[in-house]
Amino acid sequence: MAKTPRFTAHQTTAEDDGNDAQPPPQGGQKHPVDQGMPPLKLFTTGVQHVAAMYAGVVAPPLVIGAAVGLSVTEMTFLTGASLFLAGVATLFQTLGFWKIGARLPFVNGVTFASVAPMLAINKSTGPDDALPVIFGATLVVAAVGFLVAPFFSKLVRFFPPVVTGSVITLIGISMMPVTFNWAQGGDEKSPDYGDLKNIAMAGVTLLLVLVLRRFATGFLKQIAVLVGLVAGTLIAIPVGITDFTALKEADIAGFPTPFHFGAPQFQIAAIVSMLIVMLVTMTESTADMLALGEIVDRPAGEKTIAGGLRADMLGSFLSPFFNGFLCSAFAQNIGLVAMTRIRSRFVVATAGGILVVMGLCPMAAALIACVPQPVLGGAGVVLFGSVAASGIQTLMKAGLSNDNNVLIVGTSLAVGVIPIAAPEFYHAFPESMKVVLDSGISTGCVTAVVLNLVFNHLGKRHREDEVVTHPMEPGEGIPHQPDAPDPDDQQGLQGRQAHSPA
């Protein structure tokens, strides 16, 4: 039986010239990604996104700041700079301009993948020069990444459902150790790490979110995670794990002074190590955009991915000027979109605006910081689990009745889980290789792409029982075109609605 095409309009042909032209809108309907919301809903749902990603944004500057011996005041300054740049990069992604931005509900922030090489740079240069050398390397690699983005985006043709499903599932699974760490308290050196009260608070928060998602209706159901975080924080006060110290000591306003820690320095070794990180983050961002495109039912084509990667790299290029680091996508917010089904990019743009304000107002940042790590952990179970579930939904399109595809999925997931199941598995490898190998998303993604080529393309001109689209052609739901069909196209919208999950 022939497969029903996911989109019935603007299907790209072999003669497609790659232009951005799309058919005119019909019926005046907008895709949910492009629809606005009332101000109150924009703000509350935007805060929900900020709460979901806050810990991930502040963790890298805290680790690096401690390594180079910054004072408490300087650490606060570095954290504020990261929040400010995360907001700017998120606005680039969601609103976009020219050929910059994926124009999807896509959150950006400091990537934790850069922490290991930055610590290595600190060890080799010393704390006095570490930050200027890191900033110099970030400037160079961001400029290179911006230039290669359109070429890197062409890899989308190698991502049929059997690959994207594996990668999306890995994104959700790879984030689970993060949420389990939060549930235990977040700091392994703390004496109460893994204490019963921490895990109990995570369980209470998870229960609150699940109850709201099951019994609440309308907008309250959509902001279940935010309500769970607020309620969990309040419940945690008598338990003794809510700390308001940061709020008491925070200043009302502050601006990240350009080159506060010194002018950038350029060292070849540092640049090379950060180039590796850049390739890792671009791979992960590509996978995240493909995942998000599936979730919001606007598949990410080459144009979308190129724009998203440019936004990543532009944000990363601006970061060193304001004492920030390399920026990339945040997978936890993809889980929030998957769970709430709020697909408007303007919600995430509002979150970007909130992050900018937090970067300029330390007191506002400190307010979000009061949410205990165990409370975040409870909400994270739902968020990251939703991402993995979305990956499984995508794999259902891949035709797992085909033995080859079963091997591709099984091997890719196994390789991607290695850093989680056996964290020391690559301990004997060179540090430069560990930057890539310790990222389960990257290794699993590469494995899936290579195996798909080997099993479904190379030497298989005449395949029997084929259920997966040719890897060099667009996969179902991932059209090989400059971008997804026009969201205002009525016929295309009906096609998406007919194939969207219930």
pLDDT tens across 285-330, in order?
887 888 888 888 888 888 888 888 998 899 889 888 888 888 887 7
Q: What is the structure's pLDDT at 469?
A: 43
Mean pLDDT within 30-44: 81
| Structure token digits, residue 308 | 């998203």
- R_g (Cα) of the chain, nearest Å: 22
> What is the residue-averaged pLDDT of the chain?
75
Task: Of 24-33, 285-294, 457-466, give the lowest mean pLDDT range.
Answer: 457-466
- Per-residue pLDDT reduced to its tens digit, 134-175: 888 889 999 998 998 888 877 767 777 788 788 778 877 877
Burial annotation 14-38 (CB, 10 A radius, 16+ → b, else e): eeeeeeeebeeeeeeeebbbeeebe
Domains of the chain: which residue ranges?
Answer: 32-472
Query: Is the pLDDT assigned to residue 474 strictly greater than 50?
Result: no
Q: What is the structure's pLDDT at 219?
A: 67
Confidence class of residue 449 from pLDDT cuts 50, 70 and 90? confident
SS3 189: coil
Whether 90 and 106 have beta carbons less than 8 Å apart is answered as yes
Whether 348 and 324 have beta carbons less than 8 Å apart is answered as no
Of all residues in the chain, what percent carry a pLDDT higher than 90?
6
Query: Is the pLDDT assigned to residue 12 strictly greater than 80?
Result: no
Confidence class of residue 200 from pLDDT cuts 50, 70 and 90? very high
Using alpha carbons, select from 38, 80, 448 the residue that is nearest to residue 250.
80
Confidence class of residue 73 from pLDDT cuts 50, 70 and 90? low
Query: Is the pLDDT assigned to residue 411 strictly greater than 90?
Result: yes
Q: What is the structure's pLDDT at 461?
A: 53
Q: What is the structure's pLDDT at 28?
A: 57
H helices of 68-158, in order, are 72-94, 115-125, 127-152
Confidence class of residue 93 from pLDDT cuts 50, 70 and 90? confident
Residue 197's CB: how many other CB atoms inside 10 A? 14
Confidence class of residue 340 from pLDDT cuts 50, 70 and 90? confident
Query: Is the pLDDT assigned to residue 495 strictly greater than 50?
Result: no
The residue whose two tokens read 């430069």 is 432
Higher-pLDDT residue of 68, 429: 429
Mean pLDDT within 468-494: 44
Using alpha carbons, select from 457, 460, 489, 458 the residue that is nearest to residue 473.
457
Whether 351 and 402 have beta carbons less than 8 Å apart is answered as no
Whether 86 and 108 have beta carbons less than 8 Å apart is answered as yes
Mean pLDDT within 72-87: 79
Q: What is the structure's pLDDT at 120?
A: 67
Distance CA 89, CA 418 (A): 31
Whether 267 and 133 have beta carbons less than 8 Å apart is answered as yes
Backbone φ/ψ region at 330: left (φ over 0), alpha (ψ -120 to 50), beta: beta
Mean pLDDT within 250-261: 74
Query: Is the pLDDT assigned to residue 42 strictly greater than 90?
Result: no
Distance CA 312, CA 451 (A): 28
Mean pLDDT within 396-414: 85
Backbone phi and psi for residue 187, each to the nearest 5 degrees, phi listed first: -125, 105
CA torsion sign for 305, 307, 312, 316 is: positive
Task: Of 83-97, 270-284, 349-363, 441-455, give the lowest mean pLDDT range.
Answer: 270-284
Query: Is the pLDDT assigned to residue 207 strictly greater than 90?
Result: yes
Mean pLDDT within 222-231: 78
Query: Is the pLDDT assigned to residue 25 strictly greater than 50?
Result: no
Q: What is the structure's pLDDT at 218?
A: 66
Confidence class of residue 368 from pLDDT cuts 50, 70 and 90? low
**270 Cβ partners below 8 Å, 6+ apart?**
117, 121, 125, 133, 134, 136, 137
Q: What is the structure's pLDDT at 413?
A: 92
